[in-house]
Structure 1
Amino acid sequence: MKQLTIQSIQRHYPIVMESGLRFRLKKWLHEDYSSIFIITDDKIADKYLQDVTNSLQDKAIYTSVVPSGEASKNIEVYYKLQSKAIESGLDRKSLIIALGGGVIGDLAGFVAATFMRGIDYVQMPTTILAHDSSVGGKVAINHASGKNLIGCFYPPAAVLYDTETLTSLPYREVRSGYAEILKEGLIADRSLAEALLPLSLKQISPEQLENHLEAGIKVKADIVEADEKESGIRKHLNFGHTLGHAFEATLGYGKVTHGEAVANGMLFALHVSEHVNGQLLPFQEFYHWMTMNEYPIIDIEEAHIDQLIKSMKSDKKSVSGHIQMVLLHKIGEPTVENLDDSSVEAYIKTYIERMNKL
């Protein structure tokens, strides 16, 4: 078992990583909750929902299963979950459990944050990608104009990570999750980044995975503790996300995974970083890592540049009409730059030229 504690302004909460933890949930639920509402998706329900409900036998348990995928993070599904909570008689002493990946964590966390002005929830991540989204208390749903535009900061009561649930992940989910782990290495842990860049994800052992997860969570935890509301260094966690979120919105949620979009966004951010900061960065190494591990390389057509820029400006991180991007001075030294439309357009065009030569 591995355990960290997040020292949040609103509350302190544990992050626990342990194989088989879903069979021992009571050990980590320290409040006497009046009822428990488990929210999961249709892919996870068949695998783990019964295990979780069985471990909470003496509680009043309610469940709701939503379609898997980013498309479920919308106002209609959110409203249905609120209605189910009300119909089930949940009160301010109830608990919501988010059992699934990042989509479920964001969605169920936002339901918890807004039900009766806020009740406790527990994150139970079942994907590698969710190691990032489950820590830090950012919960949200999407809008047609952009990702996570409707949400708030609301920390969980605990993050309970059953690492056994990761053993059956399809390769695409492994790939998606590792994009965020490498992001954490690039912004704050040079040794982690250097260990991952030459690595084939199909050859990773369970022990390596746990070590990589722990390192990534430690980066996220340190940053969240220093800047809970994203007014300073927490912005660094958005490395690769400005264009990544734009890809998700313009291609259609679910067409590419979050990690695939962010990986492409990081490649673009490395390109822009070299131009802005005048430093050579591991652009080629990162591109090789993506191709070696079969990430889709998203082609940008010049005809779609305006649409991408519009989506980037709709991002919640934009400031005074400028596009805010996290760039790297070097590995482990991120910077935040506000760029105007014409600069971003020029960088996208030079990026397209560079990609066409690879």
Structure 2
Amino acid sequence: MEGIVFEKLNSLGALLEPLNPFKVAVLTNTTVRDIWLEEVLDSISEYEVHPIIIPDGEKYKDLETARYVWEKLIKIGFTRKSLLIGLGGGVITDIAGFVASTYMRGTLLGLIPTTLLAQVDAAIGGKTGINFHGKNMIGTFYLPNFVLIDIMTLSTLPMVEVLNGLAEVVKYAILDREVYEILTRISSPQEAIKSEELIRKSVEVKVRVVEEDLRESGKRRILNLGHTVGHAIEKLSGYKIKHGFAVSVGLVVASKLGERLYGFDSGKVYELLKKFGLPINLPFEPSKVLEAMKLDKKAWYGKIVFIIPVKIGEVVIEEVPESLVLEVLREVRE
């Protein structure tokens, strides 16, 4: 997948040259604005640039925020040949992608992910979305013109955001043996965010899958490993539990199912999650989690489908009997 570059923020101007945008809008939140916006604006000062600032938080990833951004773009005379840049974490990159894909049926789009979760997951692969009666229930597939990854932006992250992203990296470690080997050598979250090799390899795993199946009609579904339970936990918490923490518990459930069905060594997953201090216990009643899972968009034809590890580097996509799911949920709840 072209357009993903590992460079410093001050290289942004070079990425804009071939696009020759009429106008540029930079969408970010109040937190990232105070840390990185000035450096981004300085690197593209020769363009007409309009910052658009929204509040920080998952609860603002909604239709009202999208409407606010659309209206801002109209007011500044934004055209299809203008560039919308999403500067921030997964909420920002998701909203920026959604707005860019729908405004005038598609504008130029650039993403600058500043969290680990966004760098290895949310900004990669062309998925966009807003929350509407559930996680990412309204969205599109829309590939950005570029994704600029500067791992130095991770140096200002609070530890909770580092851990939030590490859960997705553990997911890649289950899907890919090379990522697993790298992650087993890393001893702390602080070491992980300094490892460009780890982040690059995680991105490569996702890109490899997405290039085979952009619209999630088949193989791309393996990237939902841990998300069947994860999205249910997020929804039940009113999105107060962070995505990565919810996925972490989802990885435990998937690993336990793999152990029951295929003899997968779930201890390998437990070991990684515990090393980084990620949650491993279900925070809600199993029956409530099961019901929430049935309403998730990943439940095709109303049936609960899991991504189940067979061994490190190999997973299967499989419908699992509710009785077994409930049994494992109860085990993880204890």
Shorter-chain-normalised TM-score: which range? over 0.9
Change (3 A) 1:84 1:321: same
From the two aligned structures, give the one with the greater strand fraction.
1
Distance, in Å, in 2 between the alignment partners of 1:250 and 1:293 is 24
Tell me which of 267, 287, 296 is aligned to 2:279.
296
Q: Deviations over 1:100-148 (max 9, x none)?
A: 011100011100000011111101011111121111100000123x211
Unaligned runs of 5+ in 1: 1-5, 7-12
Query: Cα deviation per residue 1:323-352 (whole Å; 9 max; x = unaligned)?
Result: 111001111111001234344223322433
Pick the aligned partner of 1:172 from 137, 154, 160.
160
Residue 7 of structure 2 is aligned to residue 23 of structure 1: no
Query: Relative to 1, partners in 2 of residues 1:198 and 1:57: Cα closer, same or farther, differing over 3 Å?
Result: closer
C-alpha change, 1:312 and 1:206, in structure 2 (3 Å) is: closer
Task: Tell me if the contact between 1:198 and 1:289 (Cα under 8 Å) persists in the aligned partners.
Answer: no
1:31-50 counterparts in 2 under 5 A? Answer: 31-50=19-38
Offset at 1:35?
Answer: 0.5
- Alignment gaps of 5+ in structure 2: none
> How far 1:181 moved relative to its partner?
1.5
AA in 2 matched with 1:280: F
Is residue 61 of structure 1 aligned with residue 49 of structure 2?
A: yes
Question: What's the CA shift string for 1:48-88, capped at 9, x where partnerless?
Answer: 11111122212221111112121111111111111111111
| Aligned equivalent of 1:3 | none
Taking the aligned partners of 2:108 and 2:281, their CA distance within structure 1 comes to 39
Q: Aligned partners of 2:135 and 2:234: how far apart in 1?
A: 8
TM-score of the two chains, using structure 1 as the length reference = 0.88
Amino acid at match of 1:224: V
Separation in structure 2 between the aligned mates of residue 260 and residue 205 of structure 1, nearest angstrom: 17
Does the C-alpha gap of structure 1 residues 313 and 234 become closer, same or farther in structure 2, counting only changes over 3 Å? same
Q: Out of 170, 182, 191, which is 1:204 matched to?
A: 191
More moved, 331-340 vs 214-223: 331-340
Matched pairs, number = 332
Q: What is the 5 A alignment of 1:37-116?
A: 37-116=25-104
After TM superposition, give the deviation of residue 203 of structure 1 in Å: 5.0
1:9-60 residue CA offsets vs partner (Å, 9 max, x unmatched): xxxx311112xx2222110111111111110011100011111112221222
**Please, which of 276, 282, 288 is the counterpart of residue 307 of structure 1?**
288
Query: Under a length normalisation based on structure 2, what TM-score does the superposition of the two structures give?
Result: 0.94
> 1:137-176 counterparts in 2 under 5 A?
137-144=126-133, 146-176=134-164
Tell me the equivalent position of 1:193. 180
- Alignment-derived partner of residue 248 in structure 1: 234
Which residue of structure 1 lines up, in the alignment, with residue 244 of structure 2? 259
Q: State the Cα RMSD in Å.
A: 1.7
What pairs with 1:207-356 in structure 2 (closer than 5 Å)?
209-253=195-239, 255-277=240-262, 279-281=263-265, 283-301=266-284, 304-352=285-333, 356=334
Q: Percent identity?
A: 37
